[in-house]
C-alpha cells in the first residue's frame, strides 16, 4: 500500500477535546491544492541560500550548548526558521507523545499529562487515541507549536527498555493502528506530527550505537509493519529516524531504511527529520535524511553551509536538496500549518482536557488479579491502610523528553545529584493527583491512613489494623537508561510480601513503566496495573477500586514469568557499559543486539513459538463482569463473531482474533481486535477485516502467502483462546 497523499486535518470544530473519532480523522479532507505540487512550485522559486534554511534547526533550550536562540523561537525541543518572502512559517517543535512536554518548566507553563503510552495502548481503543492526540495538538497550537515530536511506535522488544512507558505495544497491528489514530488526532489541529523512532530503537543501553541486527524479513513483518500501518492510517508529515544503527548503518543515514523502504517501497511523501544528535555526517542526506534537528547536538551543522557548497558544485546534490525542501514543504502545506498559523497565548480548556486524561487512565487500567472478588471495594468499608508509592502526594511519571507536567510542576521530585545537567529531564517526578485524597473522597466516612512504606514493620502494623491494605508500588523509568531487571526497586517486593501476609485483603496498585515480576502474587488479594496514569490518575484508580469504573484495559505487552523466557535473558551491554543518559560510545565501544533471536516473533509470538507461558499474557485483563466470544466465521480475509456480556454489570472487553496456525505449524499473530462495551446480557455481532500482511511472510520480492490451511481463534488474551476455525486460502504474492 503506497502512501501517496498526506491528507490534512478535519475541520476546526473537531480539533478539541471531545467528539473526535479515528474515522473522523480518516475522513479528513484532502487540501484542494495538491501539497506536493505547491511544494514543487515553491522550491522552483527558492534561492540556494533559502534552500538550506528548512534543512536544519536548533534546540532552543539553554541547556549548556553554545547556540543563538532567536526571539521568536519558543522554548521546546526544536526550532527551524521560516522564509517570510515565500510565506513559509518557522517550524516550532515540541515533544508531545503524552502531552506538550515540560522541559523543566522553563517556559513557565504547564500542559495536560495523559497517561503513559503503554497505558493509553491498554485501552486498545483507536478512537480514544485520536481524542488524546487531538487534545495534545490543541494545547500545542495554543502554545504556538506547529510540529509535534510524537508517535512513538517502536515495538517493545525488551520490557527493560527505559522507554517502554512511552511506546505502545509489542504487536505491529496494535501499535500501528493506535499510533495512526493518535497522529491523526494531533494533525487535526493543522500541525505536523512525527512518527518515531524509525526504526528498531529497542533499548536505551548504548542507545546511540547499539546496532540492531535483524533480517529484512523479520524487520518487515514486525517493527517496520507497525510503522507502515501507522503511516498509512495517520499520514504523519514527518518521520523521525532513530539514534541506533540498523544492520550497521546509522538509522538517520540508512539508505535501506529511508530511501528503499520508506520513500520508495511505501511511497512516503513527507520528510525525515533526525533525532537530536543522531546525524553522523553530511552524507546522511544521500541516505535519505531531509532535516538535521537540534544541530548543536551533532558534531557539526552539516545541513547548512556544507550542504549548500555540495549542491552548488554537484547537480546530484542539488536534486537531493530540492527534494529535501519539497518534502518539508509538502508536510507544511498538507497540514495547513502555513494558512492556519499556531500562535502562543491561545486559550486551553484544562478541565475538559483533564477529563480526556481521566478517560484514558480509566480505560488503560488493567485488572490482573481479583481473588474472591475482593474488588470492587464496598463503599461501606471502614478502615483502609494506603501504603507506599508517594500515594499521599501523586502518581509517577516517566522521565526524559516526553515528560509532561501541569502548571506548578510536580508534586514530588526525587532529587538527582547536584550539578547533573539533565536533572530537568531525568528526575523522578510525580503528578499532583494523590491516590490518598481520591480514596478518602470515595469513602468519606471510613478511616483511611497512610504509611510511606519506608519501614516494613510500620506498614505491617497499619495493614493489620485495617480491613483492606492498598499498596502503591512504583517502577520509575526514564529515556536514556534501561532498568536492569523486572523487580520492583527499593525493597518494594519485600514490603508487599510482608503486608500481604499481615492482611489477606491486600490490593497492589502497580504504577510501573512496563512489566514487572511478582514474586508475591499468590499472597495478594488483588492486583491492578495502573501504569503511569497521568494528571487524573488517582481519580481513575479510585474509580476502578470502588467499582464506579468497570476495568476494561488489556495488556499490550506480555508480562514474562521469568527473565529466562525473554529472547535476551541478559540485556545487551548491561554487563559491560556504564549507564549513560546520552548513550554515546566511548572510544572503542561497540554493541550489537541480535533481534534475529526472536525475529518477527516479538512478545506473545515468541512465547507461542517457544512454548513459554507468560505471568500475564498479551491481551490479558479482568473485568467485574464476564464475557463470551462465539460463532467465529472467517475466510481469512475478514471475520465475524459474537461478543456477549454474560455477567451482571455493564462493561467493556476487547475481542481479539489471532492467527494460530499455518499449514499445521504453530504461528501466532494478532490479526484483528475490537473493543466492545456491553450492558449485562447484551450481545453484539462484530466484523473485522484481516490485513493479509499479518498472515504473510516477507520474501525478497515482497509479501508471500503460501496456499493452505490457516487456523484462526478468538482470544480473550493471547493464551486464552477459543477453538480454532480453519480457512483454506490460495497462494498469493504482492509487493507492499
Q: Are 195 and 39 in contact (CB under 8 A)?
A: no
Angstrom distance (rounded) from CA 395 to CA 109: 20
Rank residues 399 and 625 by Cβ distance to ligand BGC and give the closer one: 399
- 319 Cβ contact list (under 8 Å, min separation 6): none
Q: Are 306 and 63 in contact (CB under 8 A)?
A: no
> What backbone phi and psi angles, to 5 degrees, belong to 352?
-60, -40
Instruction: Report the nearest approach of ligand BGC to the CB of residue 242 (Å).
Output: 8
Q: Which of 77, 239, 713, 718 binds ligand BGC (CB under 6 A)?
A: 77
Q: What is the contact mask toward ligand BGC in residues 377 to 416, using x (rule: CB under 6 A)?
A: ------------------------x---------------
Return the number of the residue (135 or 241) whose C-beta is nearest ligand BGC.
241
**Sheet strands side by side (includes 238-241):** 78-80, 91-95, 147-149, 192-198, 238-241, 271-273
Instruction: Please name the residues in contact with 509: beta carbons below 8 A apart, sequence gap of 6 or more.
Output: 389, 435, 470, 471, 472, 473, 528, 530, 541, 545
Per-residue DSSP letters for 415-455? PPPTT-TTHHHHSEEEES--HHHHHHHHSTTSEEEEE-SSS
Q: How many residues does the chain have?
A: 736
Using CB under 6 A as the binding rule, whether residue 238 contacts ligand BGC is answered as no
Whole-number minimum distance, CB 192 to ligand BGC, in Å?
13
* 490 Cβ contact partners less than 8 Å away, ≥ 6 residues apart: none
Listed residue (219, 139, 233) closest to 179, CA to CA:
233
By CB under 6 A, is residue 95 in contact with ligand BGC?
A: yes
Residue 602: closest CA among 161, 249, 116, 111: 161
3-state SS, residue 329: helix
Hey, how many other C-beta atoms are within 10 angstroms of the C-beta on 489? 14
Alpha helix stretches (DSSP H) within 236-349: 307-313, 315-335
Residue 165: CB minimum distance to ligand BGC, A? 13
What's the closest the beta carbon of residue 603 comes to ligand BGC, in angstroms? 22
Name the minimum Å distance from CB 178 to ligand BGC.
17
Number of residues engaging ligand BGC in binding (CB under 6 A): 7
User: Number of helices and strands (H, E) in the chain?
Assistant: 17, 29
CB of 95 to ligand BGC, least distance (A): 5
Q: In this complex, which beta carbon is closest to ligand BGC, that of residue 335 or of residue 402?
A: 402
Q: Of the two residues 205 and 433, which places its CB atom closer to ligand BGC in the complex?
A: 205
> For residues 141 and 346, is the Cβ–Cβ distance under 8 A?
yes
Q: Could you tell me whether strands 78-80 and 91-95 are parallel, antiparallel, or unpaired per DSSP bridges?
A: antiparallel
For the bound state, the minimum distance from the C-beta of residue 90 to ligand BGC, rounded and expressed in Å, comes to 17
Measured from the CB of residue 198, what is the shortest distance to ligand BGC in angstroms? 11
- Tell me how far, at minimum, the Cβ of 275 lies from ligand BGC, in Å: 5
Name the residue nearer to ligand BGC (CB basis): 251 or 401: 401
Each residue 262-301 as x (binds ligand BGC by CB under 6 A) or -, in order, gives -------------xx-------------------------
- Please check whether residue 731 is in contact with residue 706, taking contact to mean a CB–CB distance below 8 angstroms: yes
CB of 636 to ligand BGC, least distance (A): 38
Question: In the complex, what is the shortest distance from the CB of residue 351 to ligand BGC, in angstroms, rounded to a whole number?
Answer: 28
- Residue whose CB is less far from ligand BGC, 94 or 623: 94
10 Å Cβ neighbour count for 495?
23
Q: Could you tell me the smallest distance in angstroms from the CB atom of residue 162 to ligand BGC?
A: 11
Contact 182, 133 (CB under 8 A): yes
192 touching ligand BGC, by CB under 6 A: no
Peptide bond into 376 cis (omega under 30): yes
Distance CA 179, CA 181 (A): 5
Binding mask 116-155 for ligand BGC (x = CB under 6 A): ---------------------------------x------
Instruction: Report the alpha-carbon distance of residue 597 to residue 159 in Å, rounded.
Output: 16
Task: Find all residues with CB under 8 Å of 558, minimum gap 6, and list them.
Answer: 170, 515, 603, 604, 607, 614, 616, 617, 618, 718
Give the contacts of 309 (CB within 8 A, at least 6 positions apart). Answer: none
Pairing assessment for the beta strands 428-431 and 147-149 based on DSSP bridges? unpaired
CB of 366 to ligand BGC, least distance (A): 25
Smallest separation (angstroms) from ligand BGC to the CB of 258: 17
Q: How far is the CB of 150 from ligand BGC (least distance, A)?
A: 8
Nearer to ligand BGC, 111 or 412 (CB): 111
* Binding track over 196-215 against ligand BGC, x by CB under 6 A: x-------------------
- Binding-site string for ligand BGC from residue 449 to residue 488, where x marks contact by CB under 6 A and - marks none: ----------------------------------------
Nearer to ligand BGC by Cβ, of 79 and 606: the residue is 79
Sort strands 238-241 and 210-213 into parallel, antiparallel or unpaired. unpaired
Angle, alpha carbons 658-660-664 (nearest 5°)? 155
Query: What minimum distance in Å lies between the beta carbon of 77 and ligand BGC?
Result: 4
Residue 276 or 476 having the CB closest to ligand BGC: 276
Sites for ligand BGC among residues 658-717 (CB under 6 A): none
Residues that bind ligand BGC (CB under 6 A): 77, 95, 149, 196, 275-276, 401
Amino acid at each position: 500500500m503506497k502512501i501517496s497523499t498526506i491528507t490534512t486535518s478535519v475541520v476546526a470544530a473537531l480539533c478539541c477535546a471531545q467528539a473526535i473519532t479515528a474515522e473522523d480523522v480518516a475522513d479528513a479532507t484532502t487540501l484542494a491544492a495538491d501539497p506536493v505540487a505547491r511544494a514543487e512550485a515553491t522550491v522552483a522559486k527558492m534561492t540556494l541560500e533559502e534552500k538550506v534554511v528548512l534543512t536544519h534547526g536548533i534546540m532552543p533550550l539553554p541547556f549548556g550548548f553554545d547556540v543563538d536562540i532567536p526571539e521568536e523561537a519558543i522554548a521546546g525541543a526544536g526550532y527551524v526558521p521560516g522564509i517570510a518572502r515565500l510565506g513559509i512559517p518557522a517550524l516550532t517543535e515540541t515533544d508531545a507523545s503524552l502531552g506538550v512536554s515540560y522541559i523543566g518548566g522553563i517556559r513557565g507553563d504547564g500542559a495536560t499529562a495523559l497517561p503513559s503510552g503503554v497505558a493509553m495502548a491498554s485501552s486498545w481503543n483507536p478512537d480514544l487515541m485520536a481524542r488524546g492526540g487531538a487534545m495534545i495538538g490543541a494545547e500545542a497550537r495554543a502554545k504556538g507549536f506547529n510540529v509535534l515530536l510524537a508517535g512513538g511506535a517502536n515495538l517493545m522488544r525488551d520490557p527493560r527498555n527505559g522507554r517502554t512507558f512511552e511506546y505502545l505495544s509489542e504487536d505491529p497491528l496494535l501499535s500501528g493502528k493506535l499510533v495512526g489514530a493518535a497522529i491523526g488526532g494531533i494533525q487535526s489541529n493543522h500541525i505536523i506530527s512525527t512518527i518515531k523512532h524509525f526504526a528498531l530503537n529497542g533499548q536505551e543501553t548504548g542507545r546511540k550505537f547499539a546496532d540492531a541486527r535483524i533480517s529484512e524479513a523479520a524487520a518487515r513483518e514486525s517493527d517496520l509493519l507497525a510503522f507502515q500501518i501507522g503511516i498509512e492510517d495517520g499520514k504523519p508529515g514527518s518521520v523521525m529516524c532513530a539514534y541506533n544503527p540498523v544492520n550497521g548503518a546509522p538509522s538517520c543515514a540508512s539508505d535501506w531504511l529511508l530511501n528503499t523502504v520508506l520513500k520508495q517501497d511505501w511511497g512516503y511523501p513527507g520528510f525525515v527529520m533526525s533525532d537530536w544528535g543522531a546525524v553522523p555526517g553530511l552524507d546522511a542526506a544521500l541516505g535519505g535524511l531531509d532535516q538535521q534537528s537540534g544541530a548543536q547536538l551533532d558534531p557539526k551543522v552539516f545541513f547548512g553551509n556544507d550542504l549548500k557548497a555540495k549542491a552548488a558544485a554537484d547537480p546530484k546534490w542539488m536534486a537531493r536538496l530540492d527534494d529535501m525542501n519539497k518534502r518539508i514543504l509538502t508536510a507544511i502545506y498538507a497540514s495547513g500549518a502555513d494558512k492556519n498559523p499556531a500562535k502562543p497565548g491561545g486559550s486551553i480548556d484544562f478541565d475538559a482536557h483533564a477529563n480526556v486524561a481521566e478517560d484514558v487512565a480509566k480505560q488503560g487500567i488493567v485488572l490482573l488479579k481479583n481473588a474472591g472478588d475482593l474488588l470492587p471495594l464496598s463503599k461501606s468499608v471502614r478502615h483502609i491502610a494506603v501504603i507506599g508509592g508517594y500515594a499521599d502526594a501523586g502518581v509517577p511519571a516517566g522521565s526524559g523528553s516526553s515528560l509532561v507536567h501541569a502548571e506548578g510542576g510536580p508534586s514530588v521530585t526525587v532529587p538527582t545529584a547536584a550539578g547533573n545537567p539533565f536533572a530537568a529531564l531525568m528526575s523522578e517526578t510525580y503528578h499532583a493527583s494523590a491516590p490518598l485524597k481520591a480514596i478518602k473522597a470515595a469513602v468519606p466516612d471510613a478511616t483511611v491512613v497512610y504509611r510511606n512504606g519506608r519501614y516494613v514493620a510500620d506498614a505491617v502494623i497499619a495493614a493489620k489494623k485495617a480491613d483492606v491494605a492498598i499498596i502503591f508500588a512504583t517502577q520509575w523509568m526514564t529515556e536514556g537508561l534501561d532498568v536492569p531487571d523486572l523487580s520492583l526497586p527499593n525493597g518494594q517486593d519485600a514490603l508487599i510480601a510482608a503486608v500481604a501476609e499481615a492482611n489477606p485483603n491486600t490490593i497492589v496498585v502497580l504504577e510501573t513503566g512496563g512489566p514487572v515480576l511478582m514474586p508475591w502474587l499468590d499472597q495478594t488479594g488483588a492486583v491492578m496495573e495502573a501504569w503511569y496514569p497521568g494528571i487524573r490518575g488517582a481519580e481513575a484508580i479510585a474509580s476502578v477500586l470502588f467499582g464506579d469504573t468497570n476495568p476494561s484495559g488489556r495488556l499490550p505487552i506480555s508480562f514474562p514469568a521469568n527473565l529466562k523466557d525473554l529472547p535476551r535473558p541478559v540485556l545487551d551491554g548491561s554487563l559491560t557499559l556504564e549507564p549513560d543518559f546520552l548513550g554515546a560510545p566511548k572510544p572503542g565501544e561497540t554493541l550489537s543486539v541480535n533481534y534475529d533471536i526472536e525475529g518477527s516473533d516479538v512478545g506473545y509470538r515468541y512465547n507461542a513459538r517457544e512454548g513459554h507461558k507468560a505471568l500475564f499474557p498479551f491481551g490479558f485483563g479482568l473485568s467485574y463482569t464476564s464475557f463470551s466470544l462465539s460463532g467465529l466465521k472467517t475466510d481469512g480475509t475478514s471475520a465475524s463473531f459474537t461478543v456477549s456480556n454474560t455477567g451482571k454489570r455493564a462493561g467493556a472487553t476487547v475481542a481479539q482474533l489471532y492467527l494460530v496456525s499455518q499449514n499445521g505449524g504453530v504461528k501466532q499473530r494478532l490479526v484483528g481486535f475490537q473493543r466492545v462495551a456491553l450492558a449485562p446480557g447484551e450481545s453484539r455481532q462484530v466484523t473485522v477485516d484481516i490485513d493479509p500482511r499479518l498472515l504473510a511472510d516477507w520474501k525478497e520480492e515482497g509479501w508471500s502467502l503460501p496456499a493452505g490451511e490457516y487456523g484462526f481463534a478468538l482470544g480473550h488474551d493471547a493464551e486464552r483462546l477459543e477453538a480454532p476455525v480453519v480457512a483454506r486460502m490460495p497462494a498469493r504474492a504482492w509487493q507492499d
